Structure 1
């Protein structure tokens, strides 16, 4: 069965894309912990991050690094936190979250509710910093 991320990759579900190449896609999380919270996924649907072939896993991390540096510039965050949890969607993915304190990355915190226009502006700002 296709994951929600595969449906986003195929264009069946819209997303606020920030970066894409032939193997990877980065898009804003629609229930972000912080403005600029981005998900990075391989286009190949694989349930578990560490089930990815070594080269694909390494390249996914390099792609995520490029996106993280753009998020840092776009948001002015002190750092970009990285989280891999893997239970919520059966498709390997990396959370990139702009943070200024460790508490900014607490998944128990309430998620932000942002209007479409704000998501679009954040995505554009990240794209321009890549």
Structure 2
């Protein structure tokens, strides 16, 4: 059974609160500032901006690719050489907040960055929420080169798999499938 995907209706006060919250997020979002080329002194004081970076115009980043919908640049705190970020120009905190056309724009950029570096092994990573290790509350994708099998560079992760009985897997499947 397919559920109706109409947007939720919000009352006037709730919508105004959400609009105010979004404006505050946009005003304080480091990625929005990088994209728009705005730097404020509090970012410098908190160590978010390094003025030693090349600054084409006022954008303090090592810009790699820019499209109408996305902006990519080298991560200033890389896990390995060539670690890049791809940021949609639409401000959304989590993946499900992003319009599909922005999502469609991102993976071709990740592919180009990997090809340009000649990467044989790499991770494309995207985190949603603080518990999932999202540091900046603006959707972004990492392209992280993994030059060796060592734990000294690149993404180092554990993969704590779980086991479910067949009946439990069926229940999980049905719950998810029903909502798709």
Say yes or no: TM over 0.5: yes
Alpha carbons 1:50, 1:57 under 8 Å: kept:
no
Give the number of aligned pairs. Answer: 104
Give the structure 2 partner of residue 64 of structure 1: 110
Q: How does 1:68-87 map to 2 (within 5 A)?
A: 68-71=114-117, 73=118, 77-86=119-128, 87=134
Using CA pairs below 8 Å that are at least 6 residues apart, which structure has the higher relative contact order? 1
Larger radius of gyration: 2
Give the structure 1 partner of residue 156 of structure 2: 106
Mapped partners of 2:92, 2:76: distance in 1: 21
Out of 2, 8, 33, the position equivalent to 2:34 is 8
Runs of 4 or more, structure 1, over 6 Å off, are: none
TM-score normalised to the size of structure 2? 0.52
Give the structure 2 partner of residue 123 of structure 1: none
Alpha carbons 1:40, 1:95 under 8 Å: kept:
yes
Mapped partners of 2:127, 2:30: distance in 1: 16
1:43-87, CA deviations, whole angstroms, 9 ceiling, x for partnerless residues? 11111123212232122222222222223x2xxx42221111242
Alpha carbons 2:69, 2:105 under 8 Å: kept:
no
Gaps of 5+ in 2: 1-24, 40-59, 129-133, 158-180
- Bigger strand fraction: 1
Q: How large is the Cα RMSD of the aligned pairs?
A: 2.1
Give the structure 2 partner of residue 19 of structure 1: 65
Gaps of 5+ in 1: 108-130
Mapped partners of 1:61, 1:49: distance in 2: 13
